[in-house]
Structure 1
Amino acid sequence: MNNTRLIRVHSPEKINCCSYLYNVEEPYTSVKRKLNRSLASALFAERVLLVEGPSELTLFEKVLSMVKPDYELEGGFILQVGGIYFKHYTNALKELNIHYIVKTDNDLKRKKKKKGEYELIGLNRCLSLIDETKLDNEFIDIPEGMPDKEEKIFIKEEVQRKKEELYCKHSDIIETLKQNSIYLSRIDLENDLYKVIEDKMKEVFGENPVKQLQDSKLFNMVDLVLELDKQECEDIYNDENFYCLVELTNSTKQEGEDNVI
């Protein structure tokens, strides 16, 4: 499926029609089959929640199976994009008048050969979806002469602190993103989850459960979701950090309304 005219006919009361010339750009040709297969499933939905990877998909499918088991019959769909392909999907969904929702991590990426300099790839990923100007790099002051092991721990803690600082500093941007149904974690999915089900995560993984979940994300996420009961799933669903699930199932916008830009 490339250079293909996609036509979506949807008829709540009268026949409406949208079309979009779907084309897989040159940088994505190596994953063309994956992009096509994923998008093909989403074309039959009214609302699509885009998530980074299989651990998010595993968690959200479990929560919704307990709280809103009929969400797909009611027009919802969860689409795993593979981390970096959000815009490829949102472009197509928007033109076909399918409401999209995004949940992603507040990632920072260290610049190669530039100690202490980080790209705001999480925030900038979101900003690109609404065609806004990307933010400049941020810096973390790393003391000289620290042993490698201590420096590694120091950097990890400072990166986490920096993520929270940026989330608060750019609260106006975060609010604009929410208005466009784009939900950025304060830090990442694991920390969002820990704030809701701390006891269960410690029960399953012992001390430092966030690190455990981050180190082997999908494998450990499967272990975790097997232990979640209905109340815990409801707690996740109703937490403000997972409002993306409420929007997916309740459709807070009018049917047929585009994402606000």
Structure 2
Amino acid sequence: MKFESISIKNFRNFEDIKIDLANKNVFFGMNDVGKTNFLYALRYVFDREVRKQNLLDTDFYKKHTENPIDITITIDISDTQDSDSQKLRAQLKGALLSSHDKVYIRLLAAYDKQEFMALPVLYWGGEINDLQEMKTRGYFYEIDYVVNVLYIDSYVDLYSLFKKNTNTLIVNDNEKDKDILEQIQTTVDDLNTNISSLSGIKSFEEKIAPEYQKFRNDKISVSVKSEIAVKGLYSNIVPYIKQENDDLLYPTSGEGRKKLLVYSIFDLLSEETEEKKINIFLIEEPENHLHRSMQIALSHILFVDKKYSYLFLTTHSPFVLSEMDNVNLVRIYNETKIDSKSVFYKVPDKFKNQRKMLNRGLTEAIFADKVLLVEGPSENVLFGKVLSVINPLYEADGVYILPVGGFGFKPYYEILDTLRIDNVIKTDNDLRKIKGKQEFSVLGFSRVNGYIGESKLPATPIKKDGVEAKRALYDDNKDALNEIREKYSIFLSRCSLEEDLDEVIHDEMVKYLTNADNDVIGYLHEAKNYHMVELVEKLTDDDCRKIYEHYNFECLKEVMS
């Protein structure tokens, strides 16, 4: 069973939107673009607790109640050996033919102006244009017998969750339990006898009844009892933390502890139903109240544990996504209206051992509106300083600098392009000696050609190496490089970061880098990140503006535009 797509029409802030889905989906975007509303669209289809609330005029896009709310989910069940596909097929019965390999589940809700609400009606089948209305029994639709929704909101109440599911979580089916329960009842009876004998209790019971009778002349008395005696054994039990080799109990008062216990409880609940039903997890901003290390641990569970086979997750945290693999990334954004783009992301095989490192850079970038992709930490340090002078709040305004390190640009810009996140590439004009020849391949030019998908720049090897050879190569092809800058937002250095910077502030670099013995470029190359930090700490605001305005670093203007 594979989730394939969802279309949402006229629901809350979604006028008409279609999103490709997978079995694990991550939804991200700025606040108030509709991430929670998207989860509610799923809940109205799959969760009877939400569905039975019906829909109000405010649930219609801009209150356009003349048109129905229309939510359609497509699920691929072509794998007939898959147990969840089999569960769906068995439940659909006559609504699905054996030849059908997709299930369409549709919710329609037409607004009733006399009742001031809309009743959701569910349909399903194997042909989108020939769906059958689902049978109901009270609030139960047929789908409720095969799908179980586990919705975990960002501020779920641990104690309410525990009490609500106590009878499911705690089952006393051991032969010895009967004797123990009888002993507990005897103890409770003794407890209440002792409570009743307390002078304060007796005094309260004697005083309260006459006071009550002033309002209503009933022949009643008031007794004070333990809740256990009235509401049962589990009426007042709560989970506590017990450390290893420590007999003391510690309350689950910390929000982080509560959050982890919540996920543990939901895991147990899912185990209770997984044989008979299809468990779908809808999780909203799990990062709340969790330290970074706990978010990373949670990421491993969500994206590796088989329990979370069907996952719809909203988040603002890159740490929650640190272990993601085989996941559908969905960006919801608002330019002129709410829209979305999705892309299926699979960690490339050659990066499997470095997944965390690759994911960390990518997941930080997808939360931005515009990304400057640079080669390494030196560019990150320098450009971060310059942009902070131009706009101290550039990161808050959605601009992010991402060093790609050893991964190259491709894994990043392909994802960013698909998600329609603007990105700018700054890369070096590299040359490499060809083995056995006195020639040098133009790596920088070839790299740019590969990125744009056409041979705009010559790829013929050249005879010379060095700074002047690189600058001559650049100047001979400047018109084409400028066109690439404008059309593709790819900025090739005239030489490299250090040489390009030297063209702009040579005198200042000599002044600031006193240990360089006037060889500032060699000094920066010698210990790239460390010496660049030394330089950046001494740059003035005027130096930064000079760099920002120079042709060599127009990538900075591009990312800020």
The two structures have a TM-score, normalised by structure 2, of: 0.40
User: 2:186 matched to 1:186?
Assistant: no
User: 2:501 matched to 1:221?
Assistant: no
Q: Is 1:117–1:137's contact at 8 Å kept on the other side of the alignment?
A: no
CA 118–137 in structure 1, closer or farther in 2 if over 3 Å, else same: farther
CA 118–30 in structure 1, closer or farther in 2 if over 3 Å, else same: farther
Whole-angstrom CA distance in 2 between matches of 1:28 and 1:107: 24
Using the aligned pairs only, state the percent identity. 39
Counterpart for residue 476 of structure 2: 169
Note the 1:202-241 alignment, pairs <5 A: 202-203=510-511, 204=513, 205-241=516-552
Note the 1:91-102 alignment, pairs <5 A: 91-102=414-425
Read off the aligned partner of 1:49 and give its amino acid letter: L
Whole-angstrom CA distance in 1 between matches of 2:414 and 2:489: 14
What is the deviation of 1:137? 4.2
Query: Can you list the C-alpha shifts for 1:71-123, whole angstroms capped at 9, x where unaligned?
Result: 111111101101552011110000000001011110011223x2322221111
Output the aligned Cα RMSD.
1.7
CA 139–14 in structure 1, closer or farther in 2 if over 3 Å, else same: closer
Q: Is 2:343–2:419's contact at 8 Å kept on the other side of the alignment?
A: yes
Q: Is 2:372–2:400's contact at 8 Å kept on the other side of the alignment?
A: yes
Counterpart for residue 53 of structure 1: 376
User: 2:449 matched to 1:127?
Assistant: yes
Whole-angstrom CA distance in 2 between matches of 1:35 and 1:174: 29
**Which of the pair is proportionally richer in helix?**
1
Counterpart secondary structure, 2:344: strand
Q: Is 2:442–2:462's contact at 8 Å kept on the other side of the alignment?
A: no
Q: Is 2:386–2:547's contact at 8 Å kept on the other side of the alignment?
A: yes
Counterpart for residue 136 of structure 1: 459
Note the 1:73-92 alignment, pairs <5 A: 73-92=396-415
Counterpart secondary structure, 1:227: coil
Read off the aligned partner of 1:23 and give its amino acid letter: K
Deviates more, 1:164-173 or 1:34-43: 164-173
Counterpart for residue 243 of structure 1: 554
Whole-angstrom CA distance in 2 between matches of 1:169 and 1:4: 45
Whole-angstrom CA distance in 2 between matches of 1:137 and 1:159: 17
Whole-angstrom CA distance in 2 between matches of 1:118 and 1:33: 35
Counterpart secondary structure, 1:48: strand
Deviates more, 1:86-95 or 1:76-85: 76-85
Whole-angstrom CA distance in 2 between matches of 1:196 and 1:175: 19
Counterpart for residue 395 of structure 2: 72
Deviates more, 1:168-177 or 1:225-234: 168-177
What is the deviation of 1:164? 1.4
Counterpart for residue 151 of structure 1: none
Whole-angstrom CA distance in 2 between matches of 1:46 and 1:249: 11
Query: Can you list the C-alpha shifts for 1:157-191, whole angstroms capped at 9, x where unaligned?
Result: x4222211211222243123202111111111111
Counterpart secondary structure, 2:522: helix
Whole-angstrom CA distance in 2 between matches of 1:2 and 1:120: 35
Runs of 5+ consecutive residues of structure 1 not aligned to the other structure: 142-157, 251-261
Selected match of 1:195 from 492, 500, 503: 503
Note the 1:101-116 alignment, pairs <5 A: 101-112=424-435, 114-116=436-438
Which one has a bigger Cα radius of gyration? 2
Counterpart secondary structure, 1:101: strand
Q: Is 1:87–1:128's contact at 8 Å kept on the other side of the alignment?
A: no
Counterpart secondary structure, 1:138: coil
CA 137–216 in structure 1, closer or farther in 2 if over 3 Å, else same: farther
**Which of the pair is proportionally richer in strand?**
2
Read off the aligned partner of 1:37 and give its amino acid letter: R
Whole-angstrom CA distance in 2 between matches of 1:160 and 1:29: 37
Counterpart secondary structure, 1:16: strand
Counterpart for residue 255 of structure 1: none
Read off the aligned partner of 1:243 and give its amino acid letter: E
Selected match of 2:358 from 35, 45, 54: 35
Query: Can you list the C-alpha shifts for 1:183-211, whole angstroms capped at 9, x where unaligned?
Result: 11111111111111111111113412112
Whole-angstrom CA distance in 2 between matches of 1:233 and 1:77: 18
CA 83–190 in structure 1, closer or farther in 2 if over 3 Å, else same: farther
Counterpart for residue 154 of structure 1: none
Q: Is 2:446–2:459's contact at 8 Å kept on the other side of the alignment?
A: no
What is the deviation of 1:51? 0.3
Whole-angstrom CA distance in 1 between matches of 2:417 and 2:559: 15
Indicate the structure whose relative CO is greater, using CA pairs within 8 Å and at least 6 residues apart.
Answer: 1
Counterpart secondary structure, 1:55: helix
Equivalences, count: 233
What is the deviation of 1:13? 3.8
Q: Is 1:49–1:101's contact at 8 Å kept on the other side of the alignment?
A: yes
Read off the aligned partner of 1:160 and give its amino acid letter: V
Counterpart for residue 44 of structure 1: 367
